[in-house]
Structure 1
Amino acid sequence: MTHQRIGRDVTVLGDAIEVPGIGFLPVNTFVLHATEPVVVDTGLSLPDRDFLADLGSVIDPADVRWIWLTHPDRDHTGGLFALLEAAPRARVVTTYLGAGIMSTERPLPMDRVFLLNPGQTLDVGDRSLTGFRPPLFDNPATVGFYDDRSRACFSSDCFGAPLPDADLAAGGDAGAVDPAELRAGQLLWAAVDSPWVHEVDRRKYLASVQPLREMDPQAILSTHLPPATGITARLLDTVSAAPQADPFTGPDQRALEQMLAGFEPGRQAA
């Protein structure tokens, strides 16, 4: 993981995973250095990752008071239970549905769960965090939040984009990406991650983007995009165009066999 400080209040722990045929997808976690420190998501669930060790280079895990899971997909929950053991005072911020989904794999200790719905706030000592439903999401338990002190918007999967360069995906700056390339990547990700967006009423969808325009965050901190500061209007224009983007159709079995043939010398595609 790479470490990147955003202002005084946020550290980004950047990671990335290769998606064949698409690029490198950023997978970020965040530390919000509030009076009651908040960890936002807990990384990939892969055996070669050690989330707790990476986090320990930024903050003593025992000091963590809140673990905000933007949703319970496995690329957001990899280090959750290790962190719960290392942070005995920490509580998991999620929804009723999110807690239920996670408990199908390993039950959460319910005395350490804090249920929060979009529109509700969490007091973390020196600021209030306001939960909201991002306009694009792939899991019904998704809740991002806005920090009124740092003016950072933690948007979960929304605004994500696969990128062609692994180093940029894991530790770069979204503002450094060519604008046309970034827009294309974000529209592709919207089609991959939120395919329902092509079926919605466009007027209602745009209404779901409007609260973020009114929020006017200085920084967009997406799990699947390098940190983006000072380009909020451009990113909002891109996600507003998602319903008109080309739908995504993934590779079929024949395409998979062709890819495997390319990976394994001497293997022929059917």
Structure 2
Amino acid sequence: MAESAEAEQRGAPASEVLRVDGTGLGRVGARPGLGRYVASLWDYRSFILFDSRSRIAGATSTNALGRIWMILNPILDGGAYFLVFGLLLQTGRGIENFIAYLIVGVFLFRYTSQAITNGSRSISSNLSIVRAFQFPRATLPIATNLRELLLFLPTLAVMVVLILAIPPLEDITWRWLLLLPLLALQTLFNLGLSLLLARVVARWADVANLISFGTRIWLYLSAVFFSVERFEHIPPLVTAMHLNPMYCVLDIARQSLLYGTDADPLRWIVLIAWTVALLALGTLVFWDAEESYGEER
């Protein structure tokens, strides 16, 4: 009654209801349309770059050798593989310039392995940020892959130096420039697979342990330290390896850097097909679960 009397004193009917036009309002945290979602990622480019750089500085500051480990790790891996597969198992027989062949395989495969392993955990390892702030969750796998690319660039430079310094010395040709589009495709491939796996790991955390196991099997199926010609007597296996995107990456790089020849065009076609398919599927699958990231399980 007091409220009615007060309303009448202001000259307004007691029964009047204030109506607000809510047509332009949306639910907080609602998933936007796919096109709008992808376009919004550009608005967060500064965050993506800052996150990538800051995590690189944080990760390397705890070690005495700092960023030198980014270079030492693949070199030590390559040395171990050369000892086991090159000297003990003699898998390099018949491969011209096997040391450089092995270096290219180890360095480039390690880049993809690190990118998808860390990218798959980009949501599950950042739950506090996901739950505290509203932003496109895809920025996290993108930032992780950008970080891995920035980490890989000095390693890539060391790979090139080793190829030029270890006998037999290789000549620099125009085909070395193919390393740039190849690296771009490999990075986009890593991102597409990271988006797909990040959705899975965010839902089932145990899958993260299987990814490390899977990348080891993938390593042995990508001709990192042997030639695919060793299995010419098993045509289905050779065909499967030719359809392996990482084998395509390594073969293109080796033909361009070591042997001065053009890789089979099928390698580019297979790699591009995998990259486009994974980017499209990974983006769609990741976006579909946008509202579920950070929920309590």
TM-score range, shorter chain: under 0.3
More helix by share: 2
More strand by share: 1
TM-score where L is the length of structure 1: 0.24
Instruction: Say which structure, 1 or 2, has more relative contact order (CA 8 Å, 6+ apart).
Output: 2
